[in-house]
A = this chain, B = another copy of it.
Amino acid sequence: MISNQEGKMDHNYALIMAGGSGTRFWPLSRGQKPKQFLDITGGKPLIAQVFDRIRNFIDVDRIYVIAGNSHKKAILEALPSMNPGNLILEPAARNTAPAIGLATVMIHAKDPDAVMAVMPSDHHIGDNEAFSNVMKAAFKAAGDAVIVTLGITPSRPETGYGYIRKGGSIGKVGVFEIFGVDAFVEKPDRARAVDYVMSGRYLWNSGMFFFRVREMMREIETHLPVVFEGLQKIIDPANRNKFTEMLETVFEKMPNISIDYGIMEKVKGIRVIPASIAWSDVGSWASLPEVCETDGRGNVIIGDVVLIDSDNCVIESKAQIITAVGLHSTAVIVTGDSVLVCPLDRTQDVKKIVAELEKKGREDLL
């Protein structure tokens, strides 16, 4: 524990969730290089952007990363300034509840007064200063609540995100108002999404949330007793000499369950802090115009490209030049071994291509 600028003991910790896999950014993303490790936006890998953003107000020694065993090398490469001792490797993928539980007990063992921020490693935030401000407020708010989630004020009726329905106002932290949470709501259809945005009562669920580790352990004990029991075995000081072995044995047997389903939707007294920041979960190639610069006709252009009479396209080359004429709302992605062409309203189906390549035994491309 070190002191923060104000001279008080600083118990703020961050956990970056880097266990994600997925194929929606194929051909850039591969089995060994999922989205968080990609410089999709033409700059640093998303996970490095998240790390740098958090470093602005949390010391690197209190920033943890959790990921699958197989991504150890990718993480240390993407985050050269992280403390390698803070990299937690899951021996098996068991969804977010066991992963966050594991980090929680480990941080609790080090600092029982810790307040933890959980952050996805593969989202984009456009405004670092506004983000810092709301993060600080959320850490403070988490001191009085069980869990505080970050909700994004929606800028459009997005059907690709889950929503949070605000309850009544609880009070303020600085300029930020804190609300109760009425409900977590699944991805809506278009009509519902429009209603949500019009009502002013709904926020996008950012997947970022804050809690005291002590509180979270209690909630896990209550709602996920099997997980809690496993975590206790792993963290038991009596097993200290065989931590890795215990972790492997116990984690393997954990139930596969998400923090949303296992904890968030069950905890009473959860709160939400709304933030008006540019945020995107960068869910597919179609989301690039939200997170990258566009030209005068709405095109995202990365790499060697000649584009004529085309608009609202996402054109990215890591290899030879891409040329197009008369193209509209289409993604063209080129790597050294693959070319992908897909209308932007079909980018969620890139996984079908990956499935077909698997079927054809094209492991070289996966």
Contact = CB atoms under 8 A, between A and B. Distances in A.
A308 interface: yes
A327 B342 CA distance: 6
A281 B319 CA distance: 33
> Taking the full assembly, how many copies of this chain does it contain?
2
Contacts of A342: 324-327
Contacts of A332: 339, 341
A88 to B, nearest CB: 35
A343 B327 contact: yes
B306 A326 contact: no
Contacts of A352: 308-309, 325
The number of chain A residues touching the other chain, given as a range, is 35 or more
B337 A341 contact: no
Given A352-B308, A353-B308, A341 B322 contact: yes
A353 to B, nearest CB: 5
Contacts of A326: 342-343, 345-346, 349
Contacts of A324: 340-342, 353
A194 interface: no
A49 interface: no
A51 B357 CA distance: 40
Interface of A: 27, 306, 308-309, 317, 319-327, 330, 332, 334-343, 345-346, 349-350, 352-353, 356-357, 360, 362, 365
